[in-house]
Structure formats: structure tokens, C-alpha cells
């Protein structure tokens, strides 16, 4: 029998993100009637699909040589030099950042980028750690540490608001207490996957000051945020300096299949990531860069983010909130996280008689896929019952699917409380 190393067992064994993707893939291939409210797949926005088809058609008909180069040639492991220059110029113009192409590295998707970042900063021996200032946090991070103790998370402070609403806040006292000398970086997503939480400008300023005072970077995952795709429903000013590591993804623009992301960071970080990419992936895919580059040269991308993507998801968010609230009424003690961005509802079922994992199984039997909340609470110093009382629900699917799914979720939640 083939045996694996301890690291092989860790990376090759089951985990939350693997189980999620397996369920999604199996349902899409063999259960077409499954209501897919569990994944983070972007919506098929007609205007964005048309834009990408137009970009592809333009390459095919007007720049066949550039398309041939994108298909036939390897780029340098850090990405196309032309794309990196264009991206830097875009960020200078649109965000006022003082970055250059040396601060840009292209990676084969955000998931791969964060694995490399965490490996670069925290290593494999447990001597360095990544600190997440507010849990819950993105499920895809949870199994990316090479050492079991490499992640530390601070439970979000719950602020209960009127009308069955709540919001997580950063508990800065606990955060400061956790900042031991072995912390290599702070990391958070904003808008947060799974909750849609957006930290305030004051919270961001404090995080930047704390990171700078400890001479560690602050990693900010902007997969849903600014400068694109712009699925953020509050005022947000994109910021960057060389102590910030910003991750920007093409996935939520409607291009998850091209597996392309951009990291903006200090040159030492981008050089190291490019070198790691050479070892792990040789080079990046070229198609995402080829499709996006012309849009970075004008204002079409930022207009698409503000005039198409943000209104589209904000309207879906408002509808999903209304539908679930109407279906639940005042019959159970629930709360929804304030919806400030991204594609999700985060449902807190207070003192529910069953766990979110059991509720997930009940919903799956009724052809509704969600994600139980406990996967998003990794790195905690001690168990938190709240983690088993939450569900992540995606509203990016077509409206009839969302309507049917939310109604079934409400029925099962009410039945769970009724015993």
C-alpha cells in the first residue's frame, strides 16, 4: 500500500474546501435539480458575458498574432511584463497607488496565491503564524497552512442590530494580546467571505498601524472588492502601501475559469512569489491577462464594476434578504449579517437545537446546497458554539433557484426549532 508523508496526508486528505467543491461538482454533473446555494461561483451577468465574448472575438479577428502568442508561449513566471505595466498604470490612475510593475505579480488564481503567501511568510515548522483579525473567515484559507498551528484567529465581536441583523467587529483588545513575536502577518478578506462584512475605514487604519508597528505585512484579500469587481455596497477607498499585500482576482468579474489573480506588494514579496510560481506552476495562464489588458487601458473596467456588477449583486442581495426574512418571520430567533458586499447571506441561528452541519445534510436531501458555518472558524484558541449556529447561503444563482432554495431553508430551520 502506498504511504504518504505527514504533509501529504494533510494536503491530500479531506477538508472543508475539498468537500464543498466535491459537492458542487457532483451536483452540477449528476443532480441538475440541485439548488446551488453553497458555492462562490459568480453569476452569469449578461453584460459581462457579452463583454468577454467581445474581447475574445476582438483577439480572434483583429489581433490573431497576440492571441497566438497567448496560446503558444510561456510568459515569465511573474506574468506578462506588458500586462504588469498596464496593471500598475491602471492602479496608479484609478486608485492613486504609487506602485510600479515591480510591485505586481500574476498568479494562477487567488487560492494558489494565498497558499504561496502563507508558505512564504509562515513556513512549515510552526515557528511563524498568520493572524486573522476576525473570524469567521474564508473557508479556502483553512487548510493552506503547512503546520497545524500556523493559523490564529480572533473571534469577531458580535454587535446585535435591529430587525434580525448583526455585524462582526474586530476585537482589538484580543487582537493586540495575540500579537506575539511569532506572528508573521495579519490577513483578512474584505468584503469578507462568508459574511459580506466590510471593515470600517477606522478599523482598516488601526490594522495598518498595528501591522506597521510590529513590522509585519497586512494581507487584504479583495476578491469581491475594489478596484474590481466592485461587489461592495458601502463606501470603500482602495488603499495600498508597501506594507500592504493586496490580492485582486479576475474570478468575480465573470472569469473564474481562467484562474488568474494579481498580487500587489513590496518588490521583495512579488519577486519571491514569482520564483515560487516558477517552481510550482512554471508560468501562469495567459488568456486572462490577454482578455483583461485592453480594459485596463481605459475606463471600461471601472465603469463595468460600478455600473453593472455592483448594482446587479446589490439588487440580488436585497431580494435574497427580503425573501428569507419574509419566510422566517418572527418564528425563530435568527439574525442575518449586515450585507455590505460579496455574494452571500450569513445566517445565524441562535441556540438552534441542531448543528449547522446537520441542517446542511437535511437541506441536501431536499436538493439545496449551502455551507455549514463551522468550516469558517479555523485557528480559534478554544471552541465557539456560535460556529455551529451559522450557514453561508449564496444568492448569485438565478432568481427562481434562489427563491426556491430560500423557502426550503426557512422551512427546515423552522422545523429544526420545532423539534
What does the pLDDT read at residue 91?
97
What does the pLDDT read at residue 50?
96
Handedness of CA 193, 327, 335, 163 (dihedral sign): positive
Check whether 29 has a pLDDT greater than 80.
no
At 378, is the secondary structure helix, strand, or coil? coil
What does the pLDDT read at residue 302?
92
Query: How many C-beta atoms lie closer than 10 Å to residue 144's C-beta?
Result: 23
Q: What is the mean pLDDT of the chain?
A: 93
Angstrom distance (rounded) from CA 319 to CA 338: 14
Query: Are 141 and 152 within 8 A, CB to CB?
Result: no
Query: Are 345 and 357 within 8 A, CB to CB?
Result: no
Closest residue by Cα to residue 291 from 301, 281, 282, 299:
301
User: Which residues make beta-bridge pairs with 369?
Assistant: 36
Rounded average pLDDT over 212-236: 95
Residues 52-71: tens digit of each pLDDT: 999 999 988 988 888 888 88
What does the pLDDT read at residue 60?
87
Residues 346-405: tens digit of each pLDDT: 999 999 999 999 999 999 999 999 999 999 999 999 999 999 999 999 999 999 999 999
What does the pLDDT read at residue 24?
65
Cell, residue 313: 449583486
What does the pLDDT read at residue 8?
79
Check whether 288 has a pLDDT greater than 90.
yes
Report how far apart, in Å, the C-alpha atoms of 238 and of each of 18, 33, 204 are. Answer: 31, 40, 11
What does the pLDDT read at residue 377?
97
Angstrom distance (rounded) from CA 135 to CA 156: 5
What does the pLDDT read at residue 68?
80
Check whether 26 has a pLDDT greater than 80.
no
Query: How many C-beta atoms lie closer than 10 Å to residue 123's C-beta?
Result: 16
Question: Binning pLDDT at 50, 70 and 90, where does residue 37 land?
Answer: very high
Angstrom distance (rounded) from CA 379 to CA 129: 10
pTM: predicted TM-score of the whole model, two decimal places: 0.94
Cα 41 → chain centroid: 11
Domains and CATH numbers, the chain: 6-48+304-418 (3.90.1150.10), 73-298 (3.40.640.10)
Residues 296-341: tens digit of each pLDDT: 998 899 999 999 999 999 999 999 999 999 999 999 999 999 999 9
Check whether 14 has a pLDDT greater than 80.
no
Check whether 30 has a pLDDT greater than 70.
no
Handedness of CA 65, 71, 76, 80 (dihedral sign): positive
What does the pLDDT read at residue 21?
67
Amino acid at each position: 500500500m502506498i504511504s504518504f508523508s505527514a504533509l501529504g496526508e494533510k494536503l491530500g486528505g479531506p477538508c472543508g474546501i475539498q468537500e464543498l467543491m466535491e459537492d458542487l461538482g457532483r451536483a452540477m454533473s449528476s443532480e441538475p435539480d440541485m439548488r446551488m446555494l453553497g458555492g462562490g461561483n459568480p453569476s452569469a451577468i449578461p453584460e459581462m458575458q457579452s463583454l468577454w465574448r467581445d474581447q475574445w472575438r476582438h483577439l480572434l479577428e483583429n489581433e490573431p498574432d497576440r492571441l497566438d502568442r497567448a496560446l503558444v508561449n510561456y510568459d515569465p513566471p511573474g506574468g506578462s511584463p506588458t500586462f504588469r505595466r498596464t496593471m500598475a498604470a491602471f492602479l496608479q490612475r484609478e486608485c492613486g497607488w504609487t506602485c510600479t510593475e515591480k510591485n505586481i505579480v500574476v498568479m494562477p488564481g487567488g487560492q494558489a496565491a494565498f497558499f504561496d503567501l502563507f508558505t512564504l511568510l509562515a513556513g512549515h515548522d510552526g515557528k511563524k503564524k498568520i493572524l486573522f483579525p476576525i473570524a469567521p473567515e474564508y473557508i479556502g484559507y483553512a487548510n493552506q497552512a503547512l503546520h497545524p498551528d500556523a493559523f490564529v484567529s480572533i473571534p469577531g465581536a458580535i454587535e446585535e442590530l435591529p430587525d434580525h441583523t448583526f455585524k462582526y467587529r474586530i476585537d482589538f483588545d484580543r487582537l493586540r494580546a495575540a500579537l506575539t513575536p511569532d506572528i508573521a502577518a495579519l490577513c483578512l478578506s474584505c468584503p469578507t467571505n462568508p459574511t459580506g462584512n466590510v471593515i470600517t475605514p477606522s478599523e482598516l487604519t488601526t490594522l495598518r498601524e498595528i501591522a506597521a508597528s510590529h513590522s509585519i505585512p497586512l494581507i487584504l484579500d479583495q476578491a469581491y472588492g475594489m478596484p474590481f469587481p466592485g461587489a461592495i455596497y458601502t463606501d470603500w477607498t482602495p488603499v495600498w502601501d508597501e506594507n500592504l499585500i493586496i490580492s485582486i482576482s479576475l474570478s468575480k468579474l465573470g472569469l473564474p475559469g481562467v484562474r488568474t489573480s494579481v498580487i500587489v506588494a513590496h518588490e521583495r514579496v512579488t519577486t519571491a512569489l514569482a520564483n515560487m510560481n516558477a517552481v510550482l506552476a512554471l508560468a501562469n495562464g495567459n488568456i486572462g491577462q490577454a482578455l483583461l489588458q485592453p480594459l485596463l487601458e481605459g475606463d471600461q473596467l471601472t465603469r463595468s464594476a460600478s455600473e453593472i456588477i455592483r448594482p446587479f449583486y446589490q439588487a440580488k442581495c436585497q431580494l435574497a434578504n427580503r425573501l428569507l426574512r419574509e419566510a422566517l418571520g418572527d418564528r425563530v430567533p435568527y439574525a442575518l449579517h449586515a450585507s455590505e458586499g460579496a455574494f452571500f447571506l450569513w445566517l445565524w441561528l441562535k441556540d438552534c437545537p441542531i448543528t449547522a452541519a446537520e441542517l446542511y445534510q437535511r437541506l441536501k436531501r431536499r436538493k439545496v446546497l449551502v455551507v455549514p458555518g463551522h468550516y469558517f472558524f479555523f485557528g480559534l484558541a478554544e471552541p465557539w458554539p456560535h460556529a455551529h449556529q451559522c450557514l453561508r447561503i449564496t444568492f448569485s444563482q438565478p432568481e427562481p433557484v434562489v427563491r426556491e432554495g430560500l423557502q426550503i431553508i426557512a422551512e427546515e430551520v423552522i422545523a429544526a426549532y420545532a423539534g
